Amino acid sequence: QFHTDDFAGQVRQALLNDIQQRQNPDGGWNWAGLAAQSDLFVSADAVSLLAEANRLGWRVRPDVLQNGLNYLKREFQSAAENEIKTYLLYALTVAGDVDFAHVNRVYRERNSLRTGSLALLALMFHRLNRPELAAEINGMLTARATRQTDSATGATLAFWPSDSPFRWLEGDIETTALALLAAQTVAPQADVTTQAMEWLNAQRAWIGWGSTRANARVAAALFQYLTAARFAEDRYTLDI
């Protein structure tokens, strides 16, 4: 007898195993697979994924996760840009291994942070159970949104223009998806969440949103949005 849940679980575990096997000797990961030098952004995403999977009870090798954390901490020590620091700190936060003093130092420079960093900082404070700080950063993030009117429907749309010099955070679609994830997590009933979701839907093409990376960011925001969505009640009766 075939069970779709069992099959989905096997596929999920196989993908996690593949990610773990692709870890480089330095503890990090690279977009292209095994390589001499790891990429800190790819490595941060990998650690976030494995840490969350481990929290949910999937099989993650402790040594792989620890080596990944060690790599991120080394990269953090040599990082000069707050955008890089914030990306690394978010992964460490997901893994439950972040030094709040480092987060606080980035928070002190909140007024100079780029959009992606603000979004990650809001998500960090949410995970660290600091709702008042998460709300403050989300308010700053919302204020940066650009509004426009849909010419076909007259609806208000919202998006966040890209302001990052780093390839891993460039592009209006990816920036908006990350900002929407933060806004939806911190204040799911705010108008900007629906406005941003409508804008993202308007950007969709037949292959999604243009790249695997963009699709992944939008998928995370879309999942969070639909999880918290409040759909209208059915307005019909069915007689049998």
The overall average pLDDT reported for the chain is: 92
In this model, does residue 201 exceed pLDDT 50?
yes
Q: Residues 83-112: what's their mean pLDDT?
A: 98
Residue-level pLDDT at 238? 58
Residue-level pLDDT at 2? 45
In this model, does residue 35 exceed pLDDT 90?
no
Q: What angle do CA 47, 80, 178 make, to 5 degrees?
A: 50
Residue-level pLDDT at 239? 63
In this model, does residue 154 exceed pLDDT 70?
yes
Confidence at 57, pLDDT banded by 50, 70, 90:
very high
Q: Residues 81-101: what's their mean pLDDT?
A: 97
Residue-level pLDDT at 7? 87
Quick one: three-class SS letters along 97-165? CCCHHHHHHHHHCHHHCCHHHHHHHHHHHHHCCCHHHHHHHHHHHHHCCEEEECCCCCCEEEECCCCCC
Residue-level pLDDT at 206? 81
